[in-house]
Structure 1
Amino acid sequence: MVYYIHRIEKGLSHKHFRSGFGKSAFAELKAVMERWRESGYSTDDGTYQAAQNVIRAYVYKHRAIGKPIPQFVGEWFADEVASADKACGNEGNAGVKIVRASDKLDNKTKNYATLFAQRTSVREYAGTSVDMQAVHEAIAISMKTPSVCNRQAYRILLVQNQELVKRALELQGGWRGYDAPPVLALISVDVRSFVSVEERNEPYIDGGLFTMAFLTALEYESLASCPLNTMMRKQQERDIRELLDIPDYEVLIAFIAIGNVPESIESPISFRYKPETITRELR
């Protein structure tokens, strides 16, 4: 359910909004919501409510710009359409929120909890050049990332050549409908730093830790970013390695699109579970 909610949120946040989009995603969401109810799960659960709220946000958006509500939405989600005023723009736990460059100006003065909480993935950027010194400062901050036996096997490639950025993202496949970012980073891990088969998962652990540290450091530097997965088929990966000259002893961890925050842009709310939902304790 969360997957389809987020697909719809991304469409809602797009700068070039396409009214009536998302029939296939809504069909899948409808089926999952029906299975949820048939299985006896509570409709007061935050996940189910997020599904309802993203439908309401979709209806609210169409009404706000004077576009008709698609027929399939009215037929499949009559209750949510009738209660779409509950979306109230940006107040639900699903839909879109506004991200502003002015809110990022004092990032370096914020405490960690505030900085971390306000970070959000941004896919559309201001049409200005990125301060590469700030990117390198973010890398320097990220070097404090812990790694197994302090091996620091993470590597990062910064790509500014727009033709290479576009070709890499075409191969990656998850950036459709957006302009190429000014900078594309590729995080990888050098497996030559590991010594036995028992450490086979460590590149992904260390690489994931570094990725999160880098994303937070970019936020600290008031730069916008969006992580992109490297879960690709063999030929995709081969083509990317050839394009960007990545050796076969480096495991691909993630791409990160980087740019400047626009004056104002919509971004998915991307709801979060309550901490108690994911927490277990042994006493």
Structure 2
Amino acid sequence: MNLNQVCKRILPAPVVTWIRHSRLRLWELSLSQANRFAKYYARPTSRGKVQIESQLMFNVHQVEKGLSHSNIRLGFGQRALRELSGHMQRLQQVDSSYASNPLYREALTVLGQYEQRHRESGFDLKPMHSLFPESIRNEISEIGSNQVIAQERTQSQQHTYRPEFFELVNNRHAVREFSQQQVTISELNEVVGVAVKSPSVCNRQSTRVHIILGNDKIQQALRIQGGLNGYPTPPALVLITADLRAFLGQNERNQGYVDGGLFAMTFLYGLEAKGLAACPLHTMFPASDSAKTRKLLNIPENEILIMFIAVGHFLDSVPVCRSKRYSADHITSVIDMSSESVS
């Protein structure tokens, strides 16, 4: 019998309820989350490969954004370039195969485009070159200038109405009973390949996907989760997590839940489009259940749990909840209104 069970047995129910909902409990949970984030996030002094990659990706994205203007501000991004140079050199030290590292090569590509756009405008590149050692400058010349980092979106692409998406969204429901047909890794990976297009802060792509197959392991995980009690075991269970090493500062302590939520929603729509049924299941667990889940599924401590998604093929017919949704007017407020639209 654990401490929680002992307290439930010896303390009056109102006291137990007060403890559960007291600020003390909230502070305890907040401190636990803060300690986990502080241990793993990417500090400027971090020596871990993933943390260095995260900082490199942040600076690459800064330069990419500057290059996405139709008319770039010549000489922009000196601080980002300086930091990018440092991160590339640090990555060389911790990654013996850095030359084939896709993030390192992406940095070279972006820097090559930076050079090309400035050279075409007759801008002096000496200040930029002074920030990088000769070896990286040579790599930029050899690799970066031959790559393309952006594509143009035409007006027709931007304004094409796609009613099939609205139909997909309106038809999606959480499904809790599935056919006995197995779900394959290739089916799930195809959907993951679409979900990676989900936006993430500065393109740092913190989301991780853990696919669980096999009745025993799925049953154990769902027994902890509790949301599918009484339903048959789904053919597949997916756990979405976020890697804290992708984040650069305390202000991003909750960003993993944002990025992971965006990814999970795209993944759910992708499953629907693929013809697979799914049910999202929360992972906002007590510490004990979180620890059990981590141990059962071998989830690293540097990842936070976002949600489970039960996946299977559709039955010919299955009941679903007809959940009432608020109208757009109910949840929308207008912060500012132009004078032209005011009657």
Taking structure 1 as the reference length, what is the TM-score of the superposition?
0.60
Q: Which amino acid aligns with 1:214?
A: F
Q: Tell me the secondary structure at the aligned position of residue 319 of structure 2.
A: strand
Query: Is residue 2:313 matched to residue 1:260?
Result: yes
* 1:245, distance to aligned residue in structure 2 (A): 0.2
Query: Which residue number corresponds to residue 172 of structure 1?
Result: 225
Query: Which residue number corresponds to residue 204 of structure 2?
Result: 151
Q: Tell me the secondary structure at the aligned position of residue 182 of structure 2.
A: coil
Q: Kindly, what percent of the aligned residue pairs are identical? A: 40
Query: Is residue 2:327 matched to residue 1:274?
Result: yes
* 1:131, distance to aligned residue in structure 2 (A): 3.6
Q: Which one of 238, 260, 266 corresponds to residue 213 of structure 1?
A: 266
Query: Which residue number corresponds to residue 144 of structure 2?
Result: none
Query: Which residue number corresponds to residue 233 of structure 1?
Result: 286
Query: Which residue number corresponds to residue 133 of structure 1?
Result: 186
Query: Which residue number corresponds to residue 166 of structure 2?
Result: 113
> Per-residue CA shift, 1:60-104, capped at 9, x if unaligned?
xxxxxxxxxxxxxxxxxxxxxxxxxxxxxxxxxxxxxxxxxxxxx
Unmatched runs of 5 consecutive residues or more in structure 2: 1-161, 337-343
More relative contact order in 1 or in 2 (CA 8 Å, sep 6+)? 1
Q: Which one of 280, 291, 302 corresponds to residue 249 of structure 1?
A: 302
* 1:179, distance to aligned residue in structure 2 (A): 1.1
Paired residues, number:
175
Q: Hey, what's the Cα distance between the residues in 1 that align with 2:311 and 2:163?
A: 21
Q: Which one of 153, 176, 179 corresponds to residue 123 of structure 1?
A: 176
Structure of larger gyration radius: 2
Q: Which amino acid aligns with 1:278?
A: I
Q: Which amino acid aligns with 1:142?
A: A
Report which of the two has the higher share of strand. Answer: 1
Q: Tell me the secondary structure at the aligned position of residue 267 of structure 1.
A: coil
Q: Which one of 239, 244, 254 corresponds to residue 186 of structure 1?
A: 239
Unmatched runs of 5 consecutive residues or more in structure 1: 1-108
* 1:134, distance to aligned residue in structure 2 (A): 1.9
Q: CA RMSD in A?
A: 1.2
Report which of the two has the higher share of helix. Answer: 2
Q: Hey, what's the Cα distance between the residues in 1 that align with 2:221 and 2:250?
A: 31
Query: Which residue number corresponds to residue 44 of structure 1?
Result: none
